[in-house]
Amino acid sequence: MIRRNFLIASLVQVLLITGLAFFSSIRANSGTVVVFSIDPMQSGYPFNTVFRGWTFEPSLDSAMTKIPNDLIKEDLVPFESLEDGLAAAGLQNIFVTITKDGSSWSVSSVSFSKPDEGLFLRSEWDMNPYSYEEFENNSDFFNVRYELGNIFLSEESVGRLRECLGERSWDMDTSSYFWEIEPLPMSVELSVLDDGNLIPLRLFCDGEEIK
């Protein structure tokens, strides 16, 4: 009985994953395909799960995440104060409009409301006292993050991905990471949907796809 229940649960899990992958594929086909560079230092390492196999969630490099303040169209939404006097923390939606310049993309403007036109990425900014203070005291830029989702990898490709990511270690003196083995140039192909959400499609290292 236990074995039967385990097999049924496994089958349901597989069917659910297959259905989600099919739905995600349909959504991805409706978007605009772009390719962005990856920041290996901010990206996680590949992770192995029982039912989903190897997954990897990339992080975009600073060209898309380090936003100059002068590109923001509106004033920053202020904090709401709670009864105890602390600032209310949350996530502020940010829409990053991008334009293509040759083979690369760049940020052209940023707004807190959904743009009426153009290709834009939906992002989030941590609205907490620290990031707010950083914004107020930094006249140059602020950082945003994107939910890219996972890319699924075969067992054979994980070794290649690790080579491309390099090896990093923690320096106790400087409280920062440093490269013991330098990473290779990496990029990710994404589908940008009409609402600005992103679906990862393919992963590239040194110009070649990691399958």
Cα 93 to Cα 21, 57, 59, 71, 187, distances in angstroms: 26, 21, 18, 15, 25
Q: Would you state the pLDDT for residue 21?
A: 43
Same domain, 18 and 40: yes
Residue 169 structure tokens: 């270690």
Same domain, 141 and 106: yes
Is the predicted pLDDT of residue 90 greater than 80, yes or no?
no
Model confidence, pTM: 0.73
Residues 94-143: pLDDT tens digits?
899 999 888 889 999 988 888 988 999 998 775 554 444 455 555 577 78
21: nearest Cα among 50, 51, 45? 51
Same domain, 193 and 178: yes
Residues 166-193: pLDDT tens digits?
998 888 888 888 889 999 999 999 999 9
| Domain enclosing residue 112, as ranges | 62-145
Same domain, 132 and 157: no
Is the predicted pLDDT of residue 23 greater than 50, yes or no?
no
Domain total for the chain?
2
Same domain, 137 and 160: no
Same domain, 114 and 187: no
Cα 201 to Cα 20, 71, 187, distances in angstroms: 14, 29, 11
Same domain, 16 and 119: no
